[in-house]
Amino acid sequence: MTGSSPNGNGIGQRPQILVAGALGAVGSLIAELVAKHPHFDLAAITARDTGDGTSPIGRKLHEIYPEHRIDLELQDLGDLDLSALDAAVVAYPTGPASKLARQLLDAGLKVIDSCAAFRFDDVATYEAWYGPHEEPELNDWAVYGLPEVNRHKVADAKLVGNPGCYPTASVLALAPLAREGLIEDVVIDAKSGVSGAGKRGENAPLFVGTFDNMRPYGVPGHKHEPEIKERLSFLGYKGSLSFVPHLVPLDQGELVSCYVKPSRKVDLQEIRELYEAAYASELFVELTAELPSARDVQRTNICRLCPTMDKEHHRILVFAAIDNLWKGGASQAIQNLNLALGVPEQAGLDHSVAMESNTAKAEKMPLDRAPVSA
């Protein structure tokens, strides 16, 4: 990039990025990705002082998360000169994140918010699931940050709401069908590792309870369900949707299985061609004839999709695998930050760009059989 930074701070040519809330699993990974980014500088990382005598303020992030190799100290937000920064990725809990977004926007920063505060167009829907919104008027500024369906709006946004992990996989799996009016009814069966719960240290009891086991949770009514419904409604589907998530014995990873009753008769070739047309130019969506697994996309920004048919019962089946901490969180935040600051969308994420074009992959998809299973 050339010229002064977007906030006019005069520091130099590279945008200066704040990661607010770097103490959590997603926030700490965002810090690593920004630190390694070819176009950005990780200027500061913050954490909240919980007031319980164990404040993380002043500790270096690598002392807490050695795997990220970040030699910066966690700071209190109040000690920062916000005018020296260009953008922030916020990984605070929803309530505090709303207030912080206002402060950062007022200081002239672009904001990528990774919590749920700005994921909904309808504030009433948000409040029905999360309680009173701290900054409802900011919703008029916010753009939903799923680039594969909302790219042009993200590029012009000052405030981006990073999607939830389940909505990311579910909406990418169903968007082509929703746009074509092909969904009469859908059941989403989702499975995720324990890292979606937050700080890694706090995940230990969850993992112990999940080891050699799996269970549904958030039934009835997981908070990601209304987010999925709202996004699909904007794509044309406003009908019945059942969403059931499950916790499985993985640290990270997510697999979503969508069972769709089609609104009219379709065949596998039409479905495959529909997905090829929708995602042919997407860097971070892989179409495959093989059933995807969570391991296929570990530590990448890729959503790996397999659309197929249950011919006997005439159902469309769509399987989507993502890494819940990456495409479902941290790396998607970087993808949105790239768009918002005008650098190449894949910058800092080059290692996770799909290896083949989706056109080439689609040409290899067999149309006369189901995907290969183990």
Using alpha carbons, list the distances in angstroms from residue 20 to 10, 47, 233. Answer: 22, 6, 32
**Whether the predicted pLDDT of 217 surpasses 80:** yes
**pTM for this predicted structure:** 0.90
**Whether the predicted pLDDT of 65 surpasses 50:** yes
The interaxial angle of helices 165-179 and 268-279, nearest 10 deg, is: 120
Range list of β-strands (E), the chain: 16-20, 41-46, 74-75, 87-90, 110-113, 142-144, 159-161, 183-192, 215-216, 240-247, 254-262, 285-287, 303-310, 315-322
User: If DSSP codes are grouped into helix, strand and coil, which group holds residue 260?
Assistant: strand
* Confidence at 370, pLDDT banded by 50, 70, 90: very low
% of the chain with per-residue pLDDT over 90:
74
CA nearest to 301, candidates 342, 338, 346, 344:
346
Backbone angles phi, psi at 260, to 5 degrees: -110, 125
Look at residue 371 in the predicted model and tell me its pLDDT. Answer: 46
Query: DSSP label at 236?
Result: T
User: Which domains does the chain possess?
Assistant: 16-140 (3.40.50.720), 166-327+353-364 (3.30.360.10)
Q: Is residue 10 within 8 Å of residue 74, measured between CB atoms?
A: no
User: If DSSP codes are grouped into helix, strand and coil, which group holds residue 374?
Assistant: coil
Using alpha carbons, list the distances in angstroms from residue 369 to 108, 269, 289. Answer: 55, 11, 10
CA atoms within a 13 Å half-sphere pointing along the CA-CB vector of 106: 9
* Confidence at 192, pLDDT banded by 50, 70, 90: very high
Look at residue 156 in the predicted model and tell me its pLDDT. Answer: 94
Range list of β-strands (E), 69-155: 74-75, 87-90, 110-113, 142-144
The per-residue pLDDT of the chain, averaged, comes to: 89
How many angstroms separate the CA atoms of 146 and 97, rounded?
19
How many angstroms separate the CA atoms of 196 and 193, rounded?
7
Q: Is residue 280 within 8 Å of residue 248, measured between CB atoms?
A: no
Q: Dump pLDDT digits (tens) for 299-352.
A: 999 999 999 999 999 999 999 999 999 999 999 999 999 999 999 999 999 876
How many angstroms separate the CA atoms of 99 and 103, rounded?
7
Look at residue 95 in the predicted model and tell me its pLDDT. Answer: 86
* Confidence at 134, pLDDT banded by 50, 70, 90: very high
Look at residue 3 in the predicted model and tell me its pLDDT. Answer: 36
**Whether the predicted pLDDT of 198 surpasses 80:** no
- Given 115, 165, 258, 306, which residue is catalytic? 165
| Active site (annotated) includes residue 165 | yes
Backbone angles phi, psi at 37, to 5 degrees: -70, 135
Using alpha carbons, list the distances in angstroms from residue 297 to 81, 207, 254, 338, 360. Answer: 38, 21, 9, 21, 19
